[in-house]
Structure 1
Amino acid sequence: MANTYFTFKQFTIHQAKCAMKVCTDACLFGAWAATQLQNQVAEPFKVLDIGTGTGLLTLMLAQQLNQCHIDAVEIEKQAAGQAAENIQASPWADQIQVWQNTIQDFAKNKAPHCYNTIICNPPFYEHDLKSNSNSRNLALHSHALDFAELLHITAKLLAKDGVFFILIPFARTNELLEIAATNKLYVQQFIGVKQTPKHGYFRAMIQFGFTKPNAPADEQSITIKNTDNTYTTDFIQLLQPYYLYL
């Protein structure tokens, strides 16, 4: 059984009411995105977290970025409530607003204006068998928000010089890139993620923007653990600001 909470250095994620719990690849993604933003985006700025779940990515960004305002949108009622509780208990409650809504409705009726940054850890699975849990199906399966709709909404809400971060299964990379191209979103950073040196890539962390690079973005990689089950140096450098025992 998953822990009901996960304690970081500066905040705690309670997750008993959320179908999707804190996981290592999501933590890695949040830390990587925050590092990219520290290097790229002038402050203050506005961030949109699509499908915030527990509020993990929102809080990871808020910890590292000063003067930002984050709108965190979550379709599932219990998860949105839990995210709001986690955020209210954090040091950055006055910078973040949680919206319990579909991103489609939010984009149409409530989004205030373009965002400098959009981040998303979307539902992964399109055709896999579903569970008996409606909340878990919403969190895992893309029937409520497929890649085409996600990229279309992102292109509408992202500022011209903004950046979009997404975490996806590595096997769906080509599918996503084709859809992104139709929305004039171009790869600016691409990181393949491995569990260990012996494993193949299982996740891709991608940064998109409207500016087309002069040359194709370099495909980089990161491995979470060494063969002896210790965290790699790259992983430690990214997660040290967050994990208690790094």
Structure 2
Amino acid sequence: MANTFFQFKQFTVHQEHCAMKVCTDACIQGAFTAQYLANQLITVPAILDLGAGTGLLSLMLAQHSLAAITAVELDPGAAQQATANFAASPWADRLTLTQQDIRKMKPGGGYDFIISNPPFYESALKSGHAQKDQAMHATNLTYSDLLTAIDRQLSPEGEVSVLLPYAVFDTFRELALTAGLHLREVLYIRQSVNHGYFRAVGIFGRAAADTAVTEMAVYDAAKTYTPEFKALLQPYYLYL
């Protein structure tokens, strides 16, 4: 049985009402995105989290920025859970949750940065669990829908972070390019040094630029965390 909460150094994520629990690849996305913003000396006043789930990504970015963060979640249980997680955090005054369909959001949000861990699989076997299928599969939200929502809400100079399976990342990258979003930076993730890539975190922006490519394995050959993983997650994980 999955834990009902995940304790980080500066906040706690309760997750008993969420279909999708805290997972390593989402933690990597949050940490990598926060590091990207810091390394690029990007100070953004307004961040949008599309498909917030437990609120994990919003909380991770709140820890390392002064931005006001708006999180959007469709599922009522997850929305209630994220709201409670925000209220219990040190950054409750900068975190807001709205329960709505991102496809129906009014255009013109003008957000400086958007982060999203969207439904992964546009065509794959479903689990038979409706809430989990909605969270994991693009049953209600296609990649084109997501890109349309991003385009409507992103400021002209804004950027967006997206976590996807490695197998579909190039397809999403092509769709993003058609929508006027260029890949600025990408992190390819391996479960271990003995595995191939299984996830990719991409940072996209409206202006064309060279793409910086990095890769990281979570575990080394001895099945312990790699130095790269520990360095990235050290600000968040309780025992690193």
Q: Same fold (TM over 0.5)?
A: yes
Match of 1:86 in 2: 85
TM-score (structure 2 length as normaliser): 0.96
Is 1:228 matched up with 2:227?
no
- Whether the 8 Å CA contact 2:8–2:236 is kept in 1: the answer is yes
Deviation of 1:143 (Å): 1.9
Point out where structure 1 has 5 or more consecutive residues left out of the alignment.
Answer: none
3-state SS of the aligned residue for 1:37? helix
Alignment of 1:119-130 (within 5 A): 119-130=115-126
Amino acid at match of 2:215: S
- Corresponding residue to 2:141 among 125, 142, 145: 145
| Alignment-derived partner of residue 9 in structure 2 | 9
Once the two structures are TM-superposed, the CA of residue 132 in structure 1 deviates from its matched residue by 3.0
Tell whether 2:191 aligns with 1:195.
yes
C-alpha distance in structure 1 between counterparts of 2:89 and 2:28, whole Å: 20
Please, what TM-score do these two structures have when normalized by structure 1? 0.94
Give the Cα separation in 2 of the matches to 1:162 and 1:40: 13
Give the match's secondary structure for 2:237. Answer: coil
User: Match of 2:222, as an amino acid?
Assistant: D
State the distance in 1 between where 2:213 and 2:33 align: 16
Distance in structure 1 (CA, Å) of the matches to 2:169 and 2:44: 32
- Greater displacement, 173-182 / 52-61: 173-182
Distance 1:76 1:113 in 2: 21
Distance 1:58 1:81, change over 3 A: same
Residues 1:157 and 2:135 aligned together: no
Does the CA contact (< 8 Å) of 2:119 and 2:138 recur in 1? yes
Q: Take 1:22 and 1:42, find their aligned partners in 2: how far apart are those partners?
A: 26
**Partners of 2:197 and 2:44 in 1: how far apart?**
35
Structure 2: which 5+ runs fail to align?
none
Q: What's the C-alpha RMSD, in Å, of the aligned pairs?
A: 1.3
Aligned to 1:224, the other structure's residue is in SS state strand
Q: Distance in 2 between matches of 1:243 and 1:115?
A: 28
**Separation in 1, partners of 2:44, 2:93:** 14
When the two structures are aligned, how many residues end up with a matched partner?
A: 240
Secondary structure, counterpart of 2:169 in structure 1: helix
CA shift for structure 1 position 218: 3.3
Query: SS state of the match for residue 189, structure 1?
Result: strand
